[in-house]
Structure 1
Amino acid sequence: MSSSSSKVLTPGPSATAPSAAVVPQRTPLAPLSLLESFACGGLAGCAAVTVSNVPEVMKTRLQLQGELQRADSNAPKVYKNVLDVFQKTWRHEGIKGLQRGLLPAYGYQILLNGSRLGFYEPIRRSLTATVGRNPDEVLASTAIVAGAMTGCIGAALGSPLFMVKARIQAYSPALPVGAQHYYKGSFDALRTILKSDGILGLWRGVNAAILRTAMGSSVQLPSYNLGKKYLISWGWKENGYSTYLVASGVSGFCVCAAMQPADTVLTRMYNQNTVKDPITGRVRGALYTNPIDCLWKTFKAEGIAGWYKGTTAHLLRIWPHTVITLVANEFVMTKYRAAKMRWAGDA
């Protein structure tokens, strides 16, 4: 009887255990320099203002209507509401009237949003690290301060262009409201102001610009980022454009609520005529000396409603402007970073 020995079979080279599924790692996008971030933010702002300049013209004219007149005054009103401004401007001035001030608005957006969007993240991270926290951590306090700081930088840089924009938008050959300034174009406006008021005249009202922009910027990106954070925690896609749209919409409402009174002050201070002080010989505003003076005189003559003139037009302007700016900024940065990675790979 032959005995057979048992053999232990071992898997050959072809009988391997099933491998675990490989999870693809997301390639990190290339970081942007300050200059690149500035350019992306400026481009996003230009895209937005192409749409938002029309309601900006309407807002400017409503804010100047009945300036320093009592609310119960019987003075006739040129415009009844935001729709009336649109209809009358279109009828008398056409698309040129509705898009008055677009060229200086482009320049202003490059300086404002280039600074506000381009410098925000580096400054926020630096402030967070300064208080001893991880720079990647988003703190409400440092986010608000960073937003206000970058807004102030942009407002100071772009102040002359905002003044030119406001004056060109306020001008109407058919239905004037407020002080009227006729310029052949943006460069003629800068040259005229420089000649009559000096170099400081180009920055007259910059304190109001800083106040307005600081109030808006302090809530714009913090509310946008907070909105995105909550949406993502509720299951929305981190890099989905629906997430960007909803978060930026919330941000637009927050910005409008925060800066409406300061926005009215800014429009009035920039548009006022100037006079030479008989004692000092210095050129000063004919109606207001500073933002607080403008707030007080407006309140005394028109009540608190005077601060909120043009709010509907402001919301019609700031909501699409904020949405387009923030979504376009995300789009431009993402596409540019991806292209930058490809260029680095080809090098």
Structure 2
Amino acid sequence: MASTTSPLSTLETFLCGGLAGCIAVTVSNPAEVAKTRLQLQGELVKGGQKRVYKDAFDVLAKTWRNEGIRGLQRGLGPATLLNGSRLGFYEPFRRAINRSIGRSITDQIPLTSAAAGAASGIIGASFGNPLFLIKARMQAYSPILPVGTQHYYKSSFDALATIFRTEKFLGLLRGMDAAILRTAMGSSVQLPTYKWTKNQLGSHGLLPSNSILTYLASSSVSGVCVCIVMQPADTALTRVYNQPTIRTPDGRLSGTLYRNPIDCLWKTFKTEGVLGWYKGSTAQFLRVAPHTIVTLTVNDIILGLYKDIRNRRS
């Protein structure tokens, strides 16, 4: 029988984190649909273009009116499969890095926490790239008010099959560098700032260490930090994924607008300025804040319940 004080295994944390992620992404997905469409609106066009959507709330209202709940939840299938690995691997990575430098696994060190967050994010982005790709394209698609290049797929399976049929395996890896950049930046901030804030609130006696209020406050701080740091890379990711393609003389499909995420950021800056990097920021915050709050709060609650159940069985 396992010891009641033994740490959770990678599989246990992975499954608990995955369940929390699935709950959170269902709540935050409509805001991500709005964010994606705003990021593509006016792509590489200088000021003065006619806007389909005025702001995040306008996207949500028009999408609901024209496409219903199905429109607001476009891309939900692949989105629910992407949120477990980052949370699941964070703690094992952080503990391993702490041990490698001779520190206790319980120590919350900003540098090792950021490294563990980035590493778990990179793992999730690398293995989940095909799902990231089809999620972005499905969220961008609108039969009524389209912005950016439109890719229509009947379902997630149809999307994967279509991309593989037309572009082979390399098509499913399109934009992986952008996904790694975006996810590493977000993950390097999200989990460490959450853990640090939670630690500070508890150690200074500002809030009980394991209360719902502490989880919510820590998640809110984390969500703001993620939104600030990750947005430029997130915009590059959306545009690289969704750009039109042409077939080159050697038979490969290549993006017509951007070579890589850095090229995308540079071209966006030249034509749209710094604000081009931050298109959809309000929608991003409406996505990141509740997603972070629900994910990390529910994750702590699920982990606590699971430990209680495991301890009782032991």
Secondary structure of the residue that 2:81 maps to in structure 1?
helix
* Mapped pair 1:65 → 2:41: yes
Structure 2 letter corresponding to 1:154 = G
**Cα deviation per residue 1:289-319 (whole Å; 9 max; x = unaligned)?**
1011110111111111110000000000000
* 1:19-168 correspondence to structure 2 within 5 Å: 30-70=6-46, 72-73=47-48, 75-109=49-83, 114-168=84-138
* Mapped pair 1:296 → 2:266: yes
* Mapped pair 1:173 → 2:149: no
Structure 2 letter corresponding to 1:257 = I
Seq. identity, %:
59
**Cα deviation per residue 1:230-259 (whole Å; 9 max; x = unaligned)?**
111232111111111100110000111110
Structure 1 gaps of 5+ residues are 1-26
**Cα deviation per residue 1:7-63 (whole Å; 9 max; x = unaligned)?**
xxxxxxxxxxxxxxxxxxxx9555311111111111111000111001000000000
* Mapped pair 1:215 → 2:191: no
Q: Counterpart in 2 of 1:285?
A: 255
Q: TM-score, length-normalised on structure 1?
A: 0.87
Select between 135-144 and 182-191 the one with higher mean Cα deviation. Answer: 135-144
* 1:185-196 correspondence to structure 2 within 5 Å: 185-196=155-166
Contact kept, 8 Å, 2:269 with 2:276, in 1: the verdict is yes
Structure 2 letter corresponding to 1:316 = L
**Cα deviation per residue 1:72-111 (whole Å; 9 max; x = unaligned)?**
23x31101111111111111111111111111111122xx
Q: Distance in 2 between matches of 1:138 and 1:46?
A: 27
Q: Counterpart in 2 of 1:273?
A: 244
Q: Distance in 1 between matches of 2:97 and 2:59?
A: 44
Q: Distance in 1 between matches of 2:199 and 2:12?
A: 25
Contact kept, 8 Å, 2:108 with 2:196, in 1: the verdict is no
Q: Counterpart in 2 of 1:311?
A: 281
Q: Distance in 2 between matches of 1:29 and 1:179?
A: 53
Secondary structure of the residue that 1:275 maps to in structure 2?
strand
Q: Counterpart in 1 of 2:176?
A: 206
* Mapped pair 1:232 → 2:202: yes
Aligned with 2:221 (options 228, 239, 250): 250
Q: Distance in 1 between matches of 2:103 and 2:6?
A: 24
**Cα deviation per residue 1:147-177 (whole Å; 9 max; x = unaligned)?**
1001000111111111111111100010000
Q: TM-score, length-normalised on structure 2?
A: 0.96
Select between 127-136 and 33-42 the one with higher mean Cα deviation. Answer: 127-136
For the pair shown, which has the larger CA radius of gyration, 1 or 2?
A: 1
Secondary structure of the residue that 1:284 maps to in structure 2?
strand
Structure 1 letter corresponding to 2:62 = K
Structure 2 gaps of 5+ residues are none
